[in-house]
Structure 1
Amino acid sequence: MEKLYIPQIARAVDATETFDFKEFIEGLETLTPVQGVISVRHVGSFLEVSSKASTIMTLTCDRTLVQFNYRLAINNSERICLAEPLPESEYPREREIEADDLVESISPSGYFDPKAWLYEQLILAIPYPKIAPDAPALEITDANSFDGSTATIDKRWEILNSLKLPE
């Protein structure tokens, strides 16, 4: 995927660049190439970027530490503001930030990097916590429940209960 020159997107048919891709993305360890489609539309003061993509990657289960394959798929869209950045010398020492200021923006005469954008979207789609589909459910008991009943607690915590100091 090559970077797209933003003024060129504005001159395209319907001010939209759409392309299919199937390639490995640097920094993202996957078993299969990332494949899908990206559409970048120039809408005057912003770019409307959308993508459908998928790949398969190996994750390590946070519960069992066993590796498993996970199908990572996205169907995302984002609006990116087109605005010239302020020179660093013009930044005020202090200023109040409005919610509208917290948007991504790029220069209207610059380039849009679809590969970097796609990398960011895929990284954000990796599940947290990573739990394997065949991982056993945690059994949690609490012997000190308020109603006097014994509830199940994770067996790994029992050793900590033995370390409690007598009152």
Structure 2
Amino acid sequence: MKEPVTPEEQEIIARQLGRPPRALRAVAHRCPCGQPDVVQTSPRLEDGTPFPTLYYLTCPRANAAASRLESTGRMREWQAELAEDPELAARYRAAHEAYLAERDALGELPTRATAGGMPDRVKCLHALAAHALAAGPGVNPIGDRAVAEMGEWWASGPCARPEGEA
């Protein structure tokens, strides 16, 4: 469920990212610690520049977990599996079409860009995990795998505390 971003959450997201968020529309997923870990963004930045990333992983711990997976070669393994498993490839293509339909409903871009490499490649586990968290289990099979293998990034508590909290 997409929820409006409160001023306090916008502040937390800025601390998570280390900069003010751009094209922010909504909180698309909350970490089990309660803070936003995925946001939904507009298809265009404030100045009109196309911004094809509909879902953005904001939690630095989740980002680090996705980066660790990428460094172990999981993208290559899953890419190879896509070429060998027509059912997986069909589900991944359906995830891509669902992603584009949702993004296009907010505003069409001049080109129908890919999301995390979809539908033919596994390119960015950060984008795929963000989509899987925002869409819920069963929508993006590669994103679901990434989320499952990222571990419990939230286990040590919130990654960004509200202003004034230790």
Do they fold alike, i.e. is TM over 0.5? no
| Structure number having the greater strand percentage | 1
| Structure number having the greater helix percentage | 2
By relative contact order (CA 8 Å, sep 6+), the higher-ranking structure is 2
Length-normalised TM-score, structure 2: 0.24
Length-normalised TM-score, structure 1: 0.24
